Amino acid sequence: MIPHVTLLQFLTKDVDPLLRQVRQTTPLEDLSMEVDKITLVKSYAYRLLGTYEERNNVNEEIDTFDLR
**Domains in the chain, number:** 1
CA dist 26 → 3, 21, 68 (Å): 15, 9, 29
Tell me whether residue 54 is in a domain. Answer: yes
Q: What per-residue confidence (pLDDT) applies to 49?
A: 92
Q: How many other β-carbons are positioned within 10 Å of the β-carbon of residue 18? A: 12
The phi-psi region of residue 27 (left if phi > 0; otherwise alpha if psi is between -120 and 50; otherwise beta) is beta
Domain that holds residue 60: 16-66
Tell me whether residue 10 is in a domain. Answer: no
Q: Does residue 67 surpass a pLDDT of 90?
A: yes
Q: Does residue 1 surpass a pLDDT of 70?
A: no
Tell me whether residue 7 is in a domain. Answer: no
* AA identity, residue 58: V
Q: Does residue 60 surpass a pLDDT of 80?
A: yes
- 3-57 residue pLDDT tens: 778 877 778 788 888 888 878 886 767 777 888 999 999 888 888 899 999 888 8
Whether 39 and 64 have beta carbons less than 8 Å apart is answered as yes
Between 4 and 1, the more confident residue is: 4
